[in-house]
Amino acid sequence: MLVQLASTNSVPDSPASDLFAATETALEIRAFETKLLELFKGGGLSGTVHTCIGQEFCAAALHPHLRPGSDAFFATHRGHGHYLAHGGPPDRLLAEMMGRQGALCLGRGGTQNLLYKRFFSAGIQGGSAPIAVGYAWAMRCQGGRRIAVAQIGDGTLGEGTLYEAFTFAAWLRAPVLFLLEANGWAQSTDVRRTTPGNILQRAAGFGLEVDWKKDENPSALYEHLGRVVEKVRGGTPFLQVVETRRLMAHSKGDDNRSAELVAQLWQDDPLTQIVAREESAKSAQRAAETAADHVVEEVSNRPLLAETDNDVLPGASAVLPAAYFHSDAGPAKEYGRVAEELNRAFHDMMAEHPEVVLIGEDLLDPYGGAFKVSRGLSTKFPQQVLSTPIAEAGIVGVSNGMALAGLRPVAEIMFADFATLIADQLINFAAKFYYMYGGQVRCPLTVRIVSGAGRGYGPTHSQSLERLFCGIPGLRVLALSQRHDPARLLTHAVLHDDGPKVFVENKLLYALRPLVEPPVDLAIVPDTNAPGFSALQYRPRGNRNADVTVVTYGGMTGVTEAAMKQLLAEEETSFDYFVLTQLWPLDIAPILQSVRRTRRLVVVEENVPEYSVGSTVIAAVAQRCSEGFASRAVGVQPVPIPAVRHLEEKMLPSAASVVEALTALLRERGQR
């Protein structure tokens, strides 16, 4: 709804002092960004520069009402002005852009991706909006009248993620302010050509309160934004449009607007007008330009950044060696079905750790989730279970914000097929945060995806798409199998790993019980020095040599072990057997050692084998194994998974197809 905000006593300064303070800030922003353009033109900067010259009052009028280090701000690629108005040191920003010592993010973020206290900026349009919502919701849960602000531009109005953020903001009543700086252009496009309808009505239709103000009267804008911020602090999500202008190019010098239009924009610019008529503003302008010159000179004389470590994932806070999942020593533990074990893990975690939040679709009792993993949780922990709208990108975006704010969210994606909708939030945000922001933040996000076929669900509900997230620096991909302790693996991932991860659950596992006894004639290989998510490794008992190395993961353990059992009985074939826990990053060392002994490698998975986790295993071994070896990859047929059961079965790996691959390989090189 369009609201009229009455004046309050929350803005103590007089209009004259408000205007002068905002003008000083605006002049400092303009002087600094003008120097950036000069540096770029002279070769002192590389890449790109997006300035906010012309729209400085959007920042200068807002930030005095915010509390740096307490409130959070999520800026776009055009965020320098907000960074400076937020109290960010200009020398650290320039050092970041020049690759000099003292850089904000070790030179990794550059001009678009900045972090200072609770100021975040990122260069992907619309992607930060749901993150701001999640951050705001987390701060509300943690107490205090803190807010998050999401800066957006006209061009962002075409992004679907923005509207998912609107939905979540209104639904959660998150204290978030969407600040839309309407300069009329989306890069080189006049937004009147691409933005149909009424912007305010769009947002109001989601239940947000909305308002439109021009920046032509900075003092009035200052007072108005003070009232808006107070309203948001009270728990009202708000869209504030500030009509402004972009005086310079979108980036560097790529401006195809007419000279007449740009000249008119300069003439209408309130900062230009203030400087023209106010002597105090002229003096402040000279001071800002002198200060900017000093910053450029000082930073330019700093040493270049030295190389730093390239860690892209924070270390786990506890080690869980592979042998501790299952052991053939001592009494066997009684396990329930996998779904029951996961449910138990959530009950235990939520009881002891209020920062654990489960978020996803259809989670509430009595339904309890599509596969019943969340059964009973919403009844017992109503504040820690969020059953959301159908909006996968929004679910993971909001979870990103929660994780940055200190919670440990677990986002459930009902089917792995829908993981394509979350790719931007995982690949361009969650996976980047730790490295891009110089190791200053953690994002302990767990995304559970339900993968695999075998239930007759058809082409769009049967895929195994975890491979899409393998090879992404800064992301971890884990796979549950029948050989893992489900509760222990999930608990370790959620509580003891501070990085973002995809946790893959094959849907056929839910009705099965974990397998405690080692397969065929094998014994688990204890490894007390293993990393937290190392593969489960089995070798023949009695230190006998294996004939072939077999690698699988997830839902393929049953199929693979049935084939191994058959060949053991018929051919007395022996195996080195690996069940991968962590698909990415991939620890190839133990598999490589085995292949050097057996000279044979078979990988089994529920993916097209030519482009898959298994093909990666084979390629990684080939790059390191100079002795030579033979290999086979068993996977699904390269077609969408049919819905009819007998057709589906023909497309999937079977014990027979694994036996065929193993037999061919053994005959090819001669069985020992």
In the chain, what are the helix, strand and coil shares in percent, each to the nearest 5?
Answer: 45, 15, 40
For the chain, the residue count is 672
- Alpha-carbon span 463 to 413, nearest angstrom: 13
Q: What is the pLDDT of residues 322-333, one digit of tens each?
A: 777 765 445 567
Confidence at 16, pLDDT banded by 50, 70, 90: low
- Residue 590 falls inside a structural domain: yes
Report the pLDDT value the prediction gives residue 9, as an integer from 0 to 100: 34
Report the pLDDT value the prediction gives residue 527, as an integer from 0 to 100: 72
- Residue 309 falls inside a structural domain: no
- Within 10 A of 589 (CB to CB), how many other CB atoms are there? 12
Report the pLDDT value the prediction gives residue 320, as an integer from 0 to 100: 76
Q: Are residues 462 and 399 in the same domain?
A: yes
Domain holding 346, by residue range, is 322-509
Cα dihedral 278/282/287/290 (nearest 10): 160
Q: What is the pLDDT of residues 587-601, one digit of tens each?
A: 999 999 999 999 999
For the residues of 410-440, what is the DSSP string, one character each? EEEESSGGGGGGGHHIIIIIIHHHHHHTTT-
Report the pLDDT value the prediction gives residue 331, as an integer from 0 to 100: 55
CATH of the domain at 591: 3.40.50.920
Report the pLDDT value the prediction gives residue 529, as an integer from 0 to 100: 62
Mean pLDDT of 435-442: 95
Q: Are residues 496 and 536 in the same domain?
A: no
Report the pLDDT value the prediction gives residue 10, as an integer from 0 to 100: 39
**For residue 13, pLDDT beyond 70:** no
CATH of the domain at 261: 3.40.50.970
Report the pLDDT value the prediction gives residue 1, as an integer from 0 to 100: 35
Report the pLDDT value the prediction gives residue 12, as an integer from 0 to 100: 40
Q: Are residues 292 and 174 in the same domain?
A: yes
Instruction: Pick the range with the lowest mean pLDDT from 20-24, 177-181, 481-485.
Output: 20-24
Q: Return the closest-CA partner of residue 359 out of 134, 610, 164, 81.
A: 134
Q: Are residues 588 and 481 in the same domain?
A: no
Q: Are residues 389 and 487 in the same domain?
A: yes
Q: Are residues 214 and 340 in the same domain?
A: no
Residue 82: active-site member: no
Mean pLDDT of 235-261: 91
Angle at 404 between CA 400 and CA 407, to 5 degrees: 90
- Residue 232 falls inside a structural domain: yes
Q: Are residues 279 and 377 in the same domain?
A: no
Q: Are residues 534 and 481 in the same domain?
A: no
Q: What is the pLDDT of residues 446-485, one digit of tens each?
A: 999 999 999 989 999 989 999 999 999 999 999 999 999 9
Joined together, the tokens standing for residue 655 give 């014990």
Report the pLDDT value the prediction gives residue 515, as an integer from 0 to 100: 92
Query: Which residue of the set 86, 250, 461, 492 is catalytic?
Result: 461
Q: Are residues 490 and 589 in the same domain?
A: no
